[in-house]
Structure 1
Amino acid sequence: MKMFSALSVALLATLPSVYAHGFLGQIGIDGKFYAGNVPNNYIGPSPIRLVDDIGPVKGSSNTDLICGLSAQNAAMVVPANPGSTVTFQWSGGAGQKWPHNTGPLMTYMASCGSTACDQFNATGATWFKIDEVGKKDASTWYQADIMAGDGFNVVLPQNLAPGGYLIRHEIIALHLATSVGGAEFYPSCTQVQIGGNGNGSPSPTVSFPGAYSDTDPGIYDPDVYNPGSNYTFPGGPISNLAAVSESMVPGQSASAAFPSGTAVSPLPASPTQTSGNNSGAGNSSASPSAPTPTSAPAGGVATGNSGSCMLKKRNTGTASNVDKVNRPRHYSRIMRRIMHSAI
């Protein structure tokens, strides 16, 4: 066998970057959890719009800023109510925890209008901000708790008018924001149907792209590593329909996050979706309309993968299916090339 080439060694040295990004792995609404799909790997129906890579959106004018990289409409629209508690659980690549600890968490909503949210093209949607958190003290960000494995709770506005909405939860990673264009955007969109009898009219509203500029103080931040520096949130002010509270959720095991039977049936199926490639959230997924989920085995849900930001490899003595499912495809290609070059 020949020795690894210099190129192989160089590729091995870059492998940790595979894990240095992430995605919204699951969402809970009033205690009912729904798994997302591993980017670029549809597994089953979910209310979280599927993105095609764990990498960040770069640039404030990028149309993927709407719902994530080449986001496709999700198969499910799930019920929620004014005042519902929504839990966001972020995951890193290959089943690891979220890898970043610097930058804000922000949550927006947009009405789907008269269109079912699983058919709604979010290009041109009007968004209102319901929550934002940044630093918890002079030098520590709430995002550090996400990195430690915690989830994040947001309470939906009490006066939301009934109808279909997208919930756009976003992490902005600022570890490279000392240079213009260095910020990393991780937006996600979840499809919900709000009940109740609220009549609130949100103000102000913003668009994506358009809400951010690469030179906004909260996106280009040369003082981001200076303890005690002030942070200015991008995206305009909190809406008049602001969420009433937010909180971190202590990390928990995968089986606690996905107890058996927590999957719920989707709303009545809309017409069969067709495949398409949107630029942020426009076209529908290649998946058919969602079937009614079956009961999930302990430690998982029927609506997607069991990867989570606090998931650890199960002690089964062999590599877990979760590890295989969550491994990014480009990681596998790199490994095959390295092994081939070593023969």
Structure 2
Amino acid sequence: MMHLRTVLLPLLAIPYVSAHGFVHKVWIGTKTYLGNTPSAEPTASIVRQINSVDPVKGANNPFVNCGNDAQFASDIADANPGDSMSFLWTREDLSRWPHSIGPMLTYMTSCGSTGCTTFNSSNAKWFKIAQVGRIPGDPDGTWFQNNLFENDGVPANVTLPKNIAPGAYLIRHEIIALHLASRLGGAQFYPSCSQIRVGGNGNGTPHDDELVTLPGAYSDTDPGILVTDVFDTPPPPYIFPGPPIATFFSDSSSGSGSG
């Protein structure tokens, strides 16, 4: 007998075939920063411009770090420990985000003493500060990402570590779309990197064993990337890819969300 999920999965995937996107706006506290549309001439921004709204495919793709051919941004935004940051993901025409299934994860990396405007993200050592998956207690297994899909202008929200050490950082917000992830290589990665300068006098830093490279942190066969039961009901527990949230952050504030 054919499993119902086998019948429904191709139908569920139809709306997603050609719908992709990018980070159009970033908020830090009350300040707003615009990202550059991939097809536009670049303007001053803190968001590294990508050259295509298409997803990054393959966990070992070099563009999994900051997006498709991401370029240095000319600006850097000031931020304080504990600030809220919001990322507005849209399609290229600025309509609402087209995907609803999969986690959202946030990483940071120190740009060192030279700052972020010329920092090569392929050399980055990333640590995770947040991850959200399915909404806790939702009987249908609805993902937090669905808030972006259903509500025009609703961003993904993250809180910077309250005790993070001052300095220049890239912050990498990532959506992994899993609507085609029941087959190997079907997961779609949407990473975006923004350049910030954190003030304050915190001393929180990650341990060496919490640092990862991208690519390198994920495998195409990880259970959170190859998800054969993504449409099953009731939903099974979701296993986030990559490292755990850095302990210096998780010990001082809550950034994990829920799977």
**Length-normalised TM-score, structure 1:** 0.65
The answer as to whether partners of 1:129 and 1:242 remain within 8 angstroms in 2 is: no
Runs of at least 4 residues off by over 6 Å: none
Gaps of 5+ in 2: 1-13
Partner of 1:242: 249
Answer yes or no: is 1:222 the counterpart of 2:228.
yes
- The 3-state SS of whatever aligns with 1:241 is helix
Q: 1:16 to 1:200 in 2, by over 3 A?
A: closer
**Aligned equivalent of 1:231, options 235, 238, 252:** 238
Task: Tell me the equivalent position of 1:176.
Answer: 180
Give the structure with the larger strand fraction.
2
- Measure the CA separation in 1 of the matches of 2:117 and 2:44: 11
Contact 2:163 2:249 (C-alpha < 8 Å) held by counterparts: no
2:142 alignment partner in structure 1? 140
**CA deviation string 1:305-341 (max 9, x = no partner):** xxxxxxxxxxxxxxxxxxxxxxxxxxxxxxxxxxxxx
Distance 1:229 1:65 in 2: 26
Alignment counterpart, residue 206 of structure 1, candidates 212, 232, 246: 212
Distance 1:140 1:48 in 2: 29
Gaps of 5+ in 1: 1-13, 249-343
Trace 1:244-323 onto structure 2 (pairs within 5 A): 244-245=253-254
Which stretch of structure 1 is more off in the superposition, 199-208 or 45-54?
A: 199-208
Residue correspondence of structure 1 range 50-69 to structure 2 within 5 A: 50-69=49-68
Range with bigger deviation, 165-174 or 119-128: 119-128
Give, in angstroms, the shift of residue 16 of structure 1: 8.5
Could you report, residue by residue, the CA deviation over 1:233-292 in whole angstroms, capped at 9, with x for unpaired residues?
Answer: 0011111133634699xxxxxxxxxxxxxxxxxxxxxxxxxxxxxxxxxxxxxxxxxxxx
With over 3 angstroms needed to count, the CA separation of the structure-2 counterparts of 1:145 and 1:246, relative to structure 1, is: farther
Q: Distance in 1 between matches of 2:180 and 2:186?
A: 5
Q: Which amino acid aligns with 1:222?
A: T
SS in structure 1 opposite 2:122? coil
Flag the structure with larger Rg.
1
Q: Residues 222 and 79 from structure 1, CA distance in 2 versus in 1: closer, same or farther, beyond 3 angstroms?
A: same
> 1:121-155 deviations in whole A, cap 9, x for unaligned?
11121000000000002420001001123212111
The equivalent of 1:110 in structure 2 is 109
1:83 alignment partner AA: G
TM-score (normalizing by structure 2) = 0.86
Query: What is the RMSD of the two structures over their aligned residues, measured on CA atoms?
Result: 1.9
SS in structure 2 at match of 1:123: helix
Residue 40 of structure 1, CA deviation: 3.2
1:156 corresponds to which of 131, 141, 160 = 160
Distance 1:168 1:207 in 2: 12
Q: What letter matches 1:130 in structure 2? A: I
Counterpart position of 1:86: 85
The alpha-carbon deviation at position 90 of structure 1 amounts to 0.6
Residue 47 of structure 1, CA deviation: 0.2
Q: Give the letter aligned to residue 21 of structure 1.
A: H
In structure 1, distance between residues paired with 2:142 and 2:128: 23
Q: How far apart, CA to CA, are the structure 2 residues paired with 1:245 and 1:35?
A: 27
How many residue pairs were aligned? 234
CA distance in 1, matches of 2:249, 2:225: 22
State the identity as a percent: 49
Amino acid at match of 2:248: L
Deviations 1:56-99 (A, max 9, x none): 00001101001000000101011001101101111013222100
**Aligned residues of 1:131 and 1:242 also touching (Cα < 8 A):** no
